[in-house]
Amino acid sequence: EITPHDRYETGLYSSQYDIYDESRLTLMSDLREALNQDQTELHYQPKMCLSTGRVIGVEALIRWHHPDRGWVYPGDFVPLAEETGVIMQLTSWAINRGIADLAKLNATHPELTLAINISARDLSSPGLRHQITETLQRHGLPASRLTLELTETAAMEDPETGLKALQHLAESGLQISIDDFGSGYSSLSYLKQLPASEIKLDRSIIVDICTSDSSRVIVETAINMVHGLGYSVVAEGVEDRESAELLRHLNCDRVQGFWLCHPLSLAGLRQWLDKHQPPDPLAFDQAGR
């Protein structure tokens, strides 16, 4: 039997499948409910500095255990939440939960920054900046401890409004990171105007840097270009030590990926951070799992 999900995946979906529409709507109303009742969670994935071996921050990734469907991953509901506008509620929830967790970690890890993923639609929300700065203040945390990750595609959706909103956020002292760079079609002239401090190279261009000469050249060129624009570079989706070493050789600043650590619950992150001792940046074995 062909499920609505199969239809969607194979591009066969069309509006005649009302059932599918209904299940989408149900998923979104379930998500609203889950967010309201705090049944969603944030998991955290560390970002490590390649020259010191230190963890400089963590990225928050939403996790949702649906009572009937089991685990539902962001790839299956974030795009839908973006389409339907539920994303504003999701982002608002993530800001509250993420900053509260950062405050809990602060006593033992005052150096960590927290990155929260936001979407294009969040940029048009007039209350976003206020909510973030107010929540940080309430927890006694400076704005510089929070990074907002926005994909290059999202930043380009409405370039003028997007740029203004990002400038406002950056003026408040928040860090801006451009996510999934290399997966879309950014205009370089737009990229250089963004008030970002960090660019994240998409996993799709990182994945075969050790086996493909052209991928390595692309990544090397991207790193140099991003540095030339004054941003630091993170490689996402790094799955093995060899890639991490090559990236360090290519002057990449930071890595993130399963090689270092999978996304972890707050409790799991604490345990992992306790064990991750980086006295020797060359001691990659310690970080490897």
- Stretch of residues binding ligand C2E (CB under 6 A), selected from 26-34, 74-82, 99-107, 162-170: 74-82
How is residue 189 written in tokens? 């002239």
Q: Does 257 bind ligand C2E (CB under 6 A)?
A: yes
User: Which parts of 82-141 interact with ligand C2E (CB under 6 A)?
Assistant: 90-91, 94, 117-119
Q: Does 75 bind ligand C2E (CB under 6 A)?
A: yes
**Binding site partner of 75, from ligand C2E, Mg ion, none, Cβ cut-off 5-8 A by kind:** ligand C2E
Pick from 30, 101, 152, 179 the residue near ligand C2E by CB under 6 A. 179
> 47, 254 in Cβ contact below 8 A?
yes
Pick from 45, 91, 117, 175 the residue near Mg ion by CB under 5 A. 117
Binding string, 77-106, against Mg ion, x = CB under 5 A? ------------------------------
Give the residue with the Cβ less far from Mg ion, 30 or 179. 179
Q: Within 13 A of 28's CA, how many CA atoms are on the CB side? A: 18
Torsion of CA 105, 107, 111, 117, to 10 degrees: 20
- Least separation in angstroms between residue 249's CB and ligand C2E is 19
Which SS3 state, helix, strand or coil, does residue 182 take?
coil
CB atoms under 10 Å from CB of 168, counted, come to 14
Pick from 31, 49, 55, 61 the residue near ligand C2E by CB under 6 A. 61
In the chain, the largest separation of any two C-alpha atoms, in whole Å, equals: 60
Task: Tell me the C-alpha to C-alpha distance, in Å, between residue 58 and each of 34, 109, 155, 258, 289.
Answer: 24, 11, 22, 13, 18
- Stretch of residues binding ligand C2E (CB under 6 A), selected from 7-15, 26-34, 230-238, 271-279: 230-238
Which SS3 state, helix, strand or coil, does residue 63 take?
strand
- Stretch of residues binding ligand C2E (CB under 6 A), selected from 47-55, 60-68, 214-222, 267-275: 60-68
Binding string, 171-200, against Mg ion, x = CB under 5 A? --------xx--------------------
CA angle 227, 228, 234 (to 5 degrees): 20
Q: Does 263 bind ligand C2E (CB under 6 A)?
A: yes
What are phi and psi for residue 149, nearest 5 degrees? Answer: -100, 125
| Residue spans of alpha helices (H) in 85-187 | 87-106, 128-138, 152-157, 159-171
Name the residues that contact ligand C2E, by CB under 6 A. Answer: 45, 60-62, 73-75, 78, 90-91, 94, 117-119, 149, 179-180, 203, 236-239, 257-258, 263
